[in-house]
């Protein structure tokens, strides 16, 4: 599931949503690239899927019923999503900053698939996917763990 998600993120990054960036550093340019290309948009869906497939969530459903469990988890999810989404986007940006210069990222952001740096992007796709997976898994795991932990604690009170 995560591998397919990474491929979609990379495809969207280079082919969809071209926008202009005036970033000065590689890190700034990378963050601009990630946010303007909306590369973090899949975080919520991925996190929700992992939560709903987890044993702790199933335990909450058995304990509280499906409706109450979903509401409790959704409340905790919504309370923390902004913090973790920013961390997710920063993790993505760190990966792109590692592989591209500020100029290359600004070009990719502004020109999308028409960028002169598209070939480099495509050539590095496999390595970037691996780096994205390594960089984002801890953020995703921490978020899911926190949401479920808070929901379970509230279910006992």
Question: How do the domains of the chain map onto residue ranges?
Answer: 2-156
Going by pLDDT thresholds of 50, 70 and 90, the confidence category of residue 16 is: very low
Give the contacts of 111 (CB within 8 A, at least 6 positions apart): 18
Surface-to-core class of residue 134, CB atoms within 10 Å of its CB (0-12 exposed, 13-18 middle, 19+ buried)? exposed
Q: Cα separations (Å) of 58 from 7, 64, 79, 128, 145?
A: 30, 10, 21, 34, 14
Helix or strand or coil: residue 53? coil
Output phi, psi for 113, to 5 deg: -65, -15
> Among residues of the chain, what percentage have pLDDT more than 70?
85
pLDDT in tens, 69-121: 999 999 999 999 999 999 999 999 999 999 999 999 999 999 888 889 999 98
Question: What's the pLDDT at 112?
Answer: 84
Asked whether the predicted pLDDT for residue 15 surpasses 70, the reply is no
Under 8 Å between Cβ of 60 and 151: yes
Q: 125: which 2 tokens?
A: 């796709």
């Amino acid at each position: 599931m995560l591998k397919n998600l990474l491929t979609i993120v990379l495809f969207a990054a280079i082919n969809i949503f071209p926008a202009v960036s005036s970033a000065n550093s590689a890190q700034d340019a990378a963050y601009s690239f990630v946010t303007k290309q909306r590369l973090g948009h899949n975080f919520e869906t991925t996190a929700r899927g992992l939560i709903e497939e987890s044993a702790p969530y199933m335990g909450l459903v058995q304990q509280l019923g499906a409706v109450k469990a979903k509401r409790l988890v959704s409340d905790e999810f919504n309370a923390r999503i902004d913090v973790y989404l920013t961390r997710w986007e920063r993790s993505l940006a760190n990966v792109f900053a590692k592989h591209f210069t500020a100029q290359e990222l600004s070009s990719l952001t502004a020109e999308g698939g028409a960028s002169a740096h598209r070939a480099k992007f495509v050539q590095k796709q496999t390595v970037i996917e691996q780096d994205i997976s390594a960089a984002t898994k801890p953020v995703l795991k921490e978020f899911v763990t926190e949401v479920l932990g808070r929901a379970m604690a509230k279910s006992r009170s």
